[in-house]
Amino acid sequence: MAWAFSRLDRAAAIAGIVICSCLPAFGQSALRSAKDMVIITSSPPGGGYDAYSRLLGRYLQKHLPGNPNIVVNNMPGGAGIRAANYLYNIAPKDGSTIALLDRAVATAPLLYGEESKAQFDATKFSWIGSVMREAGMVVVSSHATAKTIADAMKTEVIVGSTGPEQDTAMYPRLLNELIGAKFKVVYGYAGQPEIFHAIERNELEGLFMSGWSGNGRAYVRERMSHGEMRLLLQINAQPDPMHADVPTILDVVTTPADRNIVQLLLSRLSLGRPFMGPPGVPASKLAELRDGFRAALQDPELLAEAANMRLAIDPIWGADAQVMIEDVYKADPAVIARVRNVIRLTR
């Protein structure tokens, strides 16, 4: 069964390719005029991050002073690290360039230390907000030998990921270490649609979805209705009411020291789909961006379109997102050290 995009998804993906081919190289200015804005998304066209970026771009324009033209530029690479490093070190700091970055990227320096390729301090980004608080799901195909998380502790389960610093790879390493699971991660997929295609080809058995709010959720639920996929575990403290029979990660990780690790990781997962600017955006411009972001996400037309696209909206506003990331970086150093040991990239 092919990855099911709506016509709107396809149009957005094609638009992303066209826009990327028309924009100058990132070493140069990505703007066409002084009125233009760029939203960088760290994923390729077609996935949930891309869909949220384009949705916000269409409505943010009318809620910002001057109604700037807004283009979305896909900048995949390094599983999101490339876009984050660009935003932090190269992008103009006047508010004309913002980004939707993979939620795992913001805490890569904290969790991986010297192993990370990150060249930024996440607490210094100009946090605009998040369109969605997130949870995760461990999804497997019906052809996988493992039917439950207990089965995954006895038999190998092959899952896909874009790169080793992503949640799609980190959580399998975490569960392998904490509960003795046998997940094997295959890296190098461009994005979630490609991972789903690989599952359809029986090349993979499943994936760890750290975003359960985008079109991927709708796809998985549709496949579940046909008996083609199942859920093994919820990466969340509280279960999704629609899947209350599926255990959460805190149901299977029971020792206090290990639960401290999980709680830290869940706290940064809730950042969801975060939009941010580079460090040093003037306070007045950041206030405009935050106000425009709030107005766009409360716009009835955006909410209606999001519903049609099956994209959930549950925003975190800019100041709150800033506090959340700062709190994550203030975690107990002993817990952070143990997290780094458990999920280190060399596993």
Q: Which residue has the higher pLDDT, 32 or 254?
A: 254
Examine the domain organization and report whether 17 and 126 are in the same domain.
Answer: yes
Q: What is the pLDDT of residue 197?
A: 95
pLDDT (average), residues 79-84: 89
Phi, psi torsion values for 275, nearest 5 degrees: -100, 140
Give residue 26's pLDDT band: very low, low, confident or very high (50, 70, 90).
very low
Strand partners, 126: 277
Give the containing element (helix H, strand E) for 217.
helix 215-225
Residue 347 domain-assigned (yes or no): no
User: Which range marks the domain in which residue 147 is found?
Assistant: 136-267
Indicate the pTM of the whole model: 0.72
Angle subtended at Cα 326 by Cα 288 and Cα 217, rounded to the nearest 5 degrees: 75
Please tell me whether residues 224 and 302 are part of one structural domain: no
Lowest mean pLDDT among 151-155, 190-194, 242-246: 190-194
Count Cα atoms within 13 angstroms, Cβ side, for 81.
Answer: 17
123 and 152 share one domain: no
Question: Do 227 and 148 share a structural domain?
Answer: yes
* Least confident range of 54-58, 213-217, 263-267: 213-217
Q: How confident is the model at residue 210 (pLDDT cuts 50, 70, 90)?
A: confident
- pLDDT at 53 > cutoff 50: yes
149 falls in which pLDDT band (50, 70, 90)?
Answer: very high
CATH number at residue 168: 3.40.190.10
289-310, pLDDT tens digit by residue?
A: 999 999 999 999 999 999 999 8
Residue that is last in its domain, among 236, 267, 298: 267
**Domain closes at, from 206, 235, 267:** 267
Highest mean pLDDT among 18-22, 105-109, 164-168, 288-292: 288-292
| pLDDT range class, residue 346, cuts 50, 70, 90 | low
pLDDT digits (tens, 9 = 90+) for 84-141: 999 999 999 999 999 999 888 888 898 888 888 899 999 999 999 999 888 889 999 9
120 and 30: one domain?
yes
Q: What is the pLDDT of residue 10?
A: 36
CATH label of the domain that carries residue 63: 3.40.190.150
| Integer Cα distance of 302 and 108 in angstroms | 31
- What was the pLDDT predicted at 33? 46
For the chain, the average pLDDT equals: 86
Q: Are residues 161 and 176 in the same domain?
A: yes
Confidence check: pLDDT of 5 > 50: no
pLDDT tens across 226-235, in order?
Answer: 999 999 999 9
Claim to verify: residue 289 and residue 240 sit in the same structural domain: no
Tokens of 49: 């991050």
36 or 345: which leads in pLDDT: 36
Count H helices and E strands in the chain, helices first.
13, 11
- Whether 307 is in a domain gets the answer yes
* CA separation, residue 322 to residues 57, 278, 292, 307 (Å): 21, 13, 17, 27
Domains in the chain, number: 2
Task: Say how far apart CA 90 and CA 99 lie, in whole Å.
Answer: 13
In a domain, 221, yes or no: yes
Final residue belonging to a domain, choices 211, 235, 267:
267
pLDDT reported for residue 12: 37
In this prediction, residue 35 carries a pLDDT of: 63
- Chain-centroid distance of CA 326 in Å reads 18
